[in-house]
Every structure is written in structure tokens, then in C-alpha cells.
Structure 1
């Protein structure tokens, strides 16, 4: 675990980083020893280790598991059994995951000690960004976070998202520190009504525009949702600033109190300035224009979020995009120690104190090199540069040899701790016949295709996919929501352009897919269905209504839920299919193996 240190002391933070990364092997061995010794009497460990707590017994006897393997223990705790089924300390909350796998949330155990560790982990990054981005400490952060309504299990155990935990537990305990760093008062973040909270966070940010030195949100997708909200509400926000009165529909007491600290006398001059910028034909660089002293945008733009980089660049005017953390509900893993790297080059250094880390090597096509993952599993310090791995974590909160499902590519080492880039999810998102299209493959294909939109001032707002097996042969279906770079322009994509997008995607997929299209005719032409503006907001609302979080929500890259598909199908405004057959040569198949 991370030793106790003063998170406001930059020198102490940097010293901790150097120490844990330099002594990565020793730290990892001590972490595993501590986890096993502390949790030796739990039902889970006793069932596999029989009192043998050495590292080799752990590796020989404990299975590598997925959430579904582990779920019976979580369910028992949720139903009232003691935390010592899996952990020596009380579990204070079950975290609702972001639902990366098809939008279905998982429940992850967390102790008070683990929450404290995650807060310390987060503080390690602050001195780095202050050191590497000049002037960022001269103002405050306009960060957009939203809580979700909490639930309770049958036994009364709290169920929350990680963001809600940070705001309501850690944030509430340190309100003064929070308000020193953030533009919006802490109370605005505790409002369960996302619409009121977002409106008031934006209002506070505009009222203090000169004091904003950075902006951010958990993910690029959530930041773009805020921009879209601003696009829909800027006139009303300007009216509030002009009159010095907030809109009547803002009724939440915390929101009213928070906004009241800054919205006093009428300020028509500021409102006029905002109207001038927001009223222009194009919203290019709108973030830089509204917040002229901003130095960067903090949001995850790696992995599945990489597809949003062009839109982020468009709206943010080239401000540096900083992906600070690599974290999940299960574990906080890595920090981006070089904040000014291009998003495409961003890598995360694993912090060895946060958990015991193992890695299953996977091939570039995301296949495991062995059917038995325990036969090809390596420790943190033994990974190889250029190789791909799936992380397996053992935590103080009671997860043992738990597979995260991400695919990480080793790019180098910082001291003795490896640096990784997020390559994607270890999951086939589309398959009809012999073809297997992984998330990484799909993202590459979409990235290539959407380049064809740029000469027409169109942007891809969001997308997802599915397999249509209702006719033979089955085919891939992509749902695309388009936007225009020009204000109020009609969204009428040219049929030839869209058909070429379909074909470009097919050309970008692997030789197995293209062979199925060309020779075997086992796969039908790829189809793009353009959906109306706001369709992906409706999709998000669907999943949020079933337990996902607005702050942590990520658009699933493949949708199988029938009700979710109905939401998308009801929004379709036009359809296009590939009119050409992708190329395929026999030698390509041989060379790809």
C-alpha cells in the first residue's frame, strides 16, 4: 500500500513515485504478502490455500477468475453475510462499475482503507501536471462530475459509483480543500439531478471564466456531453448572467446555494461577450474562446475514448488533452507521468503499491497464448516491451486473481515499473462466421472511415454496432450519429460518401472478415445506419435507468440488449451499405497468422 504522506506536499508526492517505481519488485512482493497474511482466515482464501500463504502456493492453487466466477461471494455479502468471506476489513460500499461490457454494471467491494488509498493515488499526479504545464496552478479547475442516486442491498450495504463515492465521502470530508481547487462549490456536485447540476456547474464556470486554468470530466465522451448541453442552453445561461437571477427550474437547494455565491449583480457585459462567442457560425475552439486562461483539458482520451479526440480538438482549439489516470472500479492502476505527450502516445505507469499485479500474455489478435491462463502469466516486472497483456489483480478489498478484461501494450519502463498503453478490451464485439472483430479492430476501422466526413464539415458524434442475423448472410450494422462543424447546417450526408465509409470500414477489417465477404460469401455487406441527433443521449439514458452512471458511462461498442436496440432503431433516419467488395488475397491470410 502507499505509505501515508501529505498530499499537498509536492516534494513528498514525487519522492513516493520515485520510490515505488524504483523498488517495484520488492513493493509487489510485500503487497502480496500483506494481502495474504491479512486475509488468510477468509472463507475464499482458506478454500484454496489451506494455510499456505507463500507466493508459490498462491500461484499454484488460486484460480484466475472473472466477475461471474466471483459473483456468488459478492451476492452473499450483498445479502447480509459478513465481509470476512473475502476480506479482513468491513466492506463499506459496493461500487457500481461503468458497465464497459455491454452496459451491464457489476458490483465491486471496497473498504474504507481502499478509498483512502485511491485518494492518495490521485494526489500523486497533481505535482506532475503543475510541473509540466506552466501556469496551471494560477487558477482553478472547472471539472464536470455528477453523482447518481444510490441504492442499497437487501442487507443495507450502500451501492454507489466510484465518482459518487469520491464526491460524497472523500469530498464531503474535505470541502474546504475541494473549494480551493474547484471552480464549482462542492454542493453542486452532490445534486442527484444531473440536468440541474450540469447547468449550475456551467453557470459557475462562465461567471468565473477568467479564473479557470483547466477543464475536465472523467471521460472525453462525458466532456463532449457537457459541450452539447452548453450548445442547447447558452442563451438561457446568458439570460441568467444578464439579470443576475438563476432560472426558476433550478430548485435544488445545494445548486441554489452554490450558484448564489457567484451570481449576484446583473452582468450584461459578460453575457454579451459569451453571446458573441456562442453565436458565431462555427463552434470551433469554443472552449478556448470562453475560457481564455485554460491550459489543458483533463479527461480520459485513450482506449475506446480515442475516437473522440478529433471532436475534442475541434471544440477545445488544440488545448492539450491530458489522460491522467488508468483506473477502474476494481482497482486504480496507473498514472500518466508525461502529461504533454500526444493522446495517441499516452502511456500509464503502473503504481506497484495499489494491488498485486499479474499479466496474461495475449497475441496481437487478442487471443491468449495458452488455453490455461495460469500457464502463461507473468509478474509486473517481467512483462516485455511491445507485448500485449490482460491485467489480473489481487486487491486488499478482496478480489483475488481477478481478470480486468482490458488489453494493455507495454511501451517501456519508468524506473522498474512498466508503462502501458490501452489497446482495447479483450472481447469479440462482432462475429458472424469465422470472423472475430475486436474492439480495437472496430475502432481502427471507424477511425479510417470517418476521415471521409471531414471534407464535408461533418463529424462522427458517437457510434455503436451489432450483428444483424435476421437474413442470410448476416452482416455488421454500425449506428452513427453525425454532427456538423457549421452551426445550424442540415445533416444530409451524401449517399456516395456514406457508401464509401462502409467500404473503407470493410477494407480496414482483417483478412478473415474480407475472405468471408469475397470468396465464401458468408458475410453480407456492412451497413451504416445514421441516427437522429441526440440518439446516443437516449441510449445513455436507457442504461443509466438500469444502474449505469452519467459520469462513468461509456457507450458500448456493441449492443445486444433488445430494448437498447429498439432505442437505436427508432432513431434511424437513413441507411447505407457497402456497394463494393473488399479485397482479399490468399497470402494476406497466411501473413496474418
Structure 2
């Protein structure tokens, strides 16, 4: 064993013991954190505008701070971006994480000196939790690859600005940096296809043990390696034993990924966001991701059915229930207040608090009142793939077809790129449709009432989604294709 794997085990034990302390006092930890965040920001412009000095409990917190998205908070963020201090949080941010929004254009998410450590430690602790549970630390002695965005940054009024994955890349612990790939120079290549070939050049003859990235882009990496070598990934990287991923539901991609690898390996799911590192899979046995309640973020949850009401219910962690879809609201030690990140989650455990990501609050289809959400289309696809094990999926998205060009009733159109198509496409479509009707009673009622006809699948040619992402300037890195939408903006471009 190498020194990394030897030292990792006692460190992992220490980290898990500390984690278990706040797990047992989750509600108290969150409410104490709420008061601490308010106190630290009471002198800021936002704190003065929203009477932070009058906040004494969660009720007064809700009365003082509205739920808002980036557009609502933008007047304050623009002051921060312009170089002003003490606007949303004390002093100036350490970084801006630059992201692209569907409605806001480019977004600048502040990362403070108080919050940066939690962005780094989330991923570290996910790995150490795995080491503690399984006893497997050997992967730390081999090469690790992180498929991410460019680490290059620019300065915006004195604040370094770049992609979150690139910012985090600058803070990889020294004991891992020596065996991390790709090289800094390769990571800085902006064109994804050029970068991918260079990554393969640097990694193909190395003892790779851990690979991390968003599943569709990791699959692209595997496909290119197989095209070069004609071998399964396990034969190219015999030490590969751990896959770390986040950003999308793994299930639709798992069959093709494991087929490319040639064997089953352990996987760890993470839930990082520019606003904060939200959760990670702390166990290979338990369902869901551990919500990080001691990481500088005070969380609130809005039941999805209330979200678009004028005064939606807002709940702290002690008020949530199992099996309910909630929109996530964050209050952070970088100065985001009442910030709705757009994701929806569902609790699968309350001791400890574990979640699954169920979708996006604005990613749904309700062209006819059905309100089909991401979790439902994911589950329907997963069900059909289990019924048709020959199928290998590349990517898919769903859109309404309100006025079919061929005439007849409207329907949901599923645009799917397969690497291996079902033997019977009609049966595959029926299985998806039946499962979706089972999951969503409104969808079933619309078909029963002859408002909708069953879904239709449009099989897309090879590289359809890659070409679409390239056309949008979003090929590679941390970018994802929305799973579904309430219009045909994406579908028609694809």
C-alpha cells in the first residue's frame, strides 16, 4: 500500500466521526447556522435592507427574506460584480463561479473565503466516506482523472472568475495533485473534442483507478478510447475501480457505461452546485445522498405544489417529510439569500437526512395540465430499459407536440439517441407510456379523455445531442441536456 491509502483510513475515520456528530443534531445545527449567517451579514447592504437586526427565529427570518431567483437578486449581485464590498456578504467574494442560465444569460455566483472550503471538502468527504465504509483506499495510490471545465480564470474588478469545476481544480489537495490527470495545460483547452483527444493521449497508458465526470461526457471519453484500442475500458485501465459522478441521474446511462467498462465497479454520486456543495452518497448500501447540513448553507424547502403560489409554504429541515417533492432554497455563507436554485429533491431518509434529486422546478411538461416532471420520465425510461435489456441509451429529451404535422391528437415526443435500439420500438414506447401513466394520474386521465394520444419516439441519428450541444457552445465540461421542457425550443433545434 502507498502512503496515500495508508493515511486515508484514519483520516476517513476522523471525518466520519465528526459528520456523525452533526447528523445527530441536524435541526439544531441548521437553526444555529441560520442565526450565525444572519449575524455575519447584518452590516451588509442586503442585511440592512432586509432588517437582519430584527431576525430572532425562523418565522422572522421568513418574514424578512423573500424567496428569489437570480433575476430578483441581480441588482445586488451587479454591485458585487462591479467591485463593491459588503453587499450580500462581508468584504468581497474570493471568486465568481460563472454559469449560463436559461433565462438570466450569464450568471455570476459569489464564492467567499468562508464558503470555498466547503466546495472542496464535499468531494473529499465523499471519497473518505467510501474509504471508511468499504475499507478500499488503494485507488488513491494510482492515477485519478477529473473530466471538468477549464481552470483558467479572468479577473473581474479584482475577483477571479471562472467555471466552478475550474475554480475547484485550483484547490485539489497537494497529496492528490501529483497523481491527478489531465495536466493543467490540457484542462485549459476550450474545444471539448480537441481536449478529449489530448486527455486520452495523457491517460491511455496510465494506471487509472478513479474517473470522475458527468456520465454522458465520461461515456464519450470511453467511446473514443474504444475506437482507438478496440478494447473494453477494464482492459485499458485494469486498476479502474471507482466512478464518481454528479449532475444527472445515472440510471439511464449505467447499462452502456458498464458495458463499455466490461465489469461492474463501485460508484459515488455527488451533488455539487455553484451555490454550494449540497450532498453526496455516503453509503454504498443506503439509498440517496446525505444532505450536508453543516457546510455553511441554511436550507429551506418549498413543496412543489406550493412553489408558484403567492405565499408558498417554507420549511426548515425539521419540518420536511418523506416522499414529498420540494424545491430547494439556499441561504449561504457567500451571500445568497432565499435563493431558489431551481432543483427539486425528495427525502428518502430523515435519520440521517438523505435526498434524491427529482428534477428541476422549471423543467416539466404541462402543455395540457399534466405536469410531468423529470423524476417521472427518468423512472419511465428506466422501467422500459429493464424490460428491454438489449437497449443502450446515449441521451434523450422530451417535448410536447401540440399540433402534430401529421394531424391527430397531440402527444409527448421522446427524442432518443440509442447506441443499441430496442428490438421492438413500439413495445419499448408502450412500456414507457404505461409506466408514465402509472406514475402520473393526470397524464393517464388526458389519454383516457382523448386529449392526448400515447407518446411517440423519434429515433435520432448518431451524435445528434453532441451536435446540438456543440451548436449551443456547451459541448463537454459540466453541461447537461435538459431532460424535458414545456415547449419545443430544444426539440426543434435537435
The TM-score, its normalising length taken from structure 2, stands at: 0.85
| 1:431 alignment partner in structure 2 | 366
* Match among 391, 395, 401 for residue 468 of structure 1: 401
Instruction: Please tell me whether residue 526 in structure 1 is matched to residue 455 in structure 2.
Output: yes
Deviations 1:350-388 (A, max 9, x none): 33233111222x3xxx423893555x3222233333444
Q: Matches of residues 373-388 of structure 1 in structure 2 within 5 Å?
A: 374=312, 376-388=313-325
From 260, 285, 305, the counterpart of 1:341: 285
Q: Does 2:291 match 1:291?
A: no
Contact 2:391 2:418 in 1 (8 A): yes
Q: Per-residue CA shift, 1:322-373, capped at 9, x if unaligned?
A: 23422211111223221x238xx3432433233111222x3xxx42389355
- Contact conserved, 2:412 with 2:455, CA < 8 A, in 1? yes
Per the alignment, residue 194 of structure 1 pairs with 192
**Secondary structure in structure 2 of the residue aligned to 1:460:** strand
Q: CA deviation at 1:54?
A: 2.0
User: What secondary structure does 2:50 align onto?
Assistant: helix
- Per-residue deviation at 1:149? 8.1
Separation of aligned partners in 1, 2:475 and 2:18: 32
Deviations 1:448-469 (A, max 9, x none): 3344553xx4422110122223
Q: Contact 1:42 / 1:84 at 8 angstroms: preserved in 2?
A: yes
**Could you tell me which residue of structure 2 aligns to residue 84 of structure 1?**
86
Q: How does 1:252-331 map to 2 (within 5 A)?
A: 275=229, 278=230, 286-300=232-246, 304-331=249-276
Q: Where do 5+ consecutive residues of structure 2 fail to align?
A: 1-6
| Residue pairs, 1:349-368, within 5 angstroms | 349-360=291-302, 362=303, 366-368=304-306
Question: What are the equivalent positions in structure 2 for 1:141-290 lying under 5 Å apart?
Answer: 141-148=143-150, 158-167=160-169, 169-171=170-172, 176-208=174-206, 211-217=207-213, 219-232=214-227, 234=228, 275=229, 278=230, 286-290=232-236
SS of 1:419's partner is strand
Matched, 1:553 2:479: yes
- The DSSP-based 3-state class of the residue aligned with 1:293 is coil
Please state whether the residue corresponding to 1:462 is helix, strand or coil.
strand
Indicate which of 66, 70, 81 corresponds to 2:69. 66
Deviation at 1:555, TM superposition (A): 1.4
SS at match of 2:33: helix
Q: CA–CA distance in 2 between the matches of 1:105 and 1:558?
A: 22
Q: 1:170 is paired with a residue of what secondary structure?
A: coil
1:482/1:566 Cα in 2 relative to 1: closer, same or farther (>3 Å)? same
- Distance in 1 between residues matched to 2:107 and 2:14, nearest whole Å: 35
Task: Find the aligned partners of 1:336 and 1:18 in 2 and give their Cα distance.
Answer: 14
Q: Closer, same or farther in 2 for the Cα pair 1:187/1:76, shift >3 Å?
A: same
Cα contact 1:98–1:552 (8 A) shared by 2: no
Residue 459 and residue 69 in structure 1: after superposition, are their counterparts in 2 closer, same or farther (change >3 A)?
same
**Cα distance in 2, alignment partners of residues 513 and 538 from structure 1:** 31
**Distance apart, 1:310 and its partner CA:** 1.9
CA distance in 1, matches of 2:254, 2:412: 25
Change (3 A) 1:560 1:300: same
CA distance in 1, matches of 2:201, 2:294: 40
Could you say which structure has the larger radius of gyration?
Answer: 1
The whole-number CA distance in structure 1 between the counterparts of 2:372 and 2:33 is 37
Tell me by how many angstroms 1:299 deviates: 1.5
Q: Distance in 2 between matches of 1:448 and 1:105?
A: 37
1:588 is matched with which residue?
none
Return the offset for 1:297: 1.5
> How many residues of Structure 1 are paired with residues of Structure 2 in the alignment?
479
Task: Quote how far apart the aligned CAs of 1:558 are.
Answer: 2.5
2:330 to 390, 393, 412: 393
Pick aligned residue for 2:309 from 371, 392, 413:
371
RMSD: 3.2
In structure 1, distance between residues paired with 2:370 and 2:316: 32
Q: State the Cα distance separating 1:530 from its structure 2 match.
A: 1.2
Does the CA-based 8 Å contact 2:93-2:334 persist in structure 1?
Answer: yes
**Corresponding residue for residue 3 of structure 2:** none
| Matched position secondary structure for 1:113 | coil
From the superposition, tell whether residues 187 and 428 of structure 1 become closer, same or farther in structure 2 (CA, over 3 Å).
Answer: closer
Compute the displacement of 1:483 (Å).
0.7
Report if the CA contact (8 A) 2:271-2:278 is conserved: yes
Give the Cα–Cα distance (whole angstroms) in 2 for the partners of residues 373 and 327 of structure 1: 29
SS at match of 1:109: strand
Q: How far 1:316 sits from its partner (Å)?
A: 2.7
Say if 2:330 and 2:338, in contact at 8 Å, map to a contact too.
Answer: yes
- 1:77 aligned counterpart, secondary structure: helix
Q: How much does 1:70 deviate?
A: 1.9
